[in-house]
Structure 1
Amino acid sequence: MARLRQALVDCELIDMGFVGPRFTWSNRFTKERLDRACQNVQWRELYPFSRCITLPLSRFDHCPLLIEMYPEPAILIRTPKLFRFEEMWLQHTDCMKVVQQGWMLPTIGEPMMQVGRKIKQTGQLLLRWHSGVFQQRQTEMKLIQGKLDDLMKQSFEPGYFEVQKALQFRLNELLSANEMYWRQRSRVQWLKDGDHNMAFFHRRASNRRCRNRVKGLLNDEGQWTVDQGEVNELIIQYYEAIFRAGGSDPAAA
């Protein structure tokens, strides 16, 4: 550990902290946070609102870490969902029947207009079929991941290990069944980042400034918010609640 700490100092790397479960690995006897994300001063100045998220367990016995890179607070904009043909549909025996059903629906108009309408009708049928058949797998996966997430947040208990292993086994089955689904959506991104020597005291001061900055808070509904106005309101509500004067019992005095 002394060599690891010295390596972090020599490379001028700083722990990013984390959002989510504290522990990233467990066995029958203990739980630990063995996985961490590090950054240097220049990278943090470019992406001051970045964060490291601990994801639920999946195929391996370590929780994966997701680094979200934000130069400024993220603004989520919902866009209309476009139709995408899923490669995994071809493995289901009912896929051909759904396509034939959509293509046989009656249409009117010019020949090419009818072709366009048939394609649209078939796509709508496929999406409804997908929601009824394949979406159940996604829902089950989210439920299992939520349970694994809750288990990793709790302190070590010997009885939880077998439950955790059973959930991981079922999650691995679902991931294997959806292998094509994930491969179709996979993207490979490469990040090239240079490193320059910085003064030690500058790094320590920058580290403190980063830790003291409130990048976001969870509201009462458990939703993460980075809007500065909402963050300020949550802070005010919190301190108003803990410093509110309560009633006193004269008899107890």
Structure 2
Amino acid sequence: MSCLAWNCRGLGNLCTVRELGEIVRTKDPSLVFLAETLTDEARLEFVQGEESEWRLTGFYGEPETANRIEAWNKLRCLNSYPICPWLCLGDFNEIVRQDEKVGGALRSHNQMQLFRDVLDECGFMDLGFVGPKFTWARHYEDGSSIWERLDRGLATNNWFLKFPGSRVHHLHCDSSDHQPILVVFSGLEHPRRKKPFRFEEMWLSNTSCEEVVKAAWYCTSGAEDGREVLNKVEKCGKDLNWWNRNVFGNVRRELEKAKKMLIKAEREAILSGNNFQVRHLKAEIEVLLDKEAIMWQQRSRLLWAREGDRNTKYFHSCATRRHRKNLIESIRDDEGVWRVQ
């Protein structure tokens, strides 16, 4: 489970929307908090469980220094609620120490102390970070710049004990002066393991797939009868993996490439009056979409998947959930200690 917080500085910018979509697809956060969306409507959902209940606050600090005390008082008000594990993340528009800023004038000691005071009153601990130190930057035409760490993740001690391996990652972006922060609750790196061989049903759409299988199966290694079959199966898998990389191709990569070529071909067709390349690419994309649909349907492990819409988000989410369910990140031993390996 993970949370993403980002001061995106407006969702009316197409580049921001595109970059947000890319971050969400890449990091797959369970919760997303956006500040300064500049949209007309906002919605706050309060989710609570039973024994596993904990609080999440997406925070945006007052940009005006004179009004910042109002933001700190809001945190104090939230702190008066019934005690439960509490995670607070977002753009606080303030630093804790002078070394969290480079360039520009020194921050007022009293201004930072007000921030430190409210952190102490709420019992917050800074979760630290992985990646570049600063989350906000402003660059001026005279060549000077200011960098500050304004975005962070804070948690109470009982939240930290609940998720002791949590990590805050500073991500990169180009469409906002604030960097997104991603809180990964487990904090455990996925163990590197050899990817098991799986036969892809979409390979059957290519006639050369059968030739690869036959060639591997008719090849003899001179081993004993029992071992001979295992050797053929292993060789068949290796040959199919090579064939997939070098002949069949990565479906998603090829589909993206074909779509880019189609955009270019359509511009050329408008000027030349010849749409042959456009029609050719559209037919190629249609074939690739069918292959992609078969790939996700197979991964979803649904017997009725072949009746569904092509490449729906449902098939994609089923495959993603299955991957999460099958992943064992750690095991707790008899003494209650979590073991990674």
Q: TM-score, normalised to structure 1's length?
A: 0.40
More strand by share: 2
Bigger RCO (CA 8 Å, 6+ sep): 1
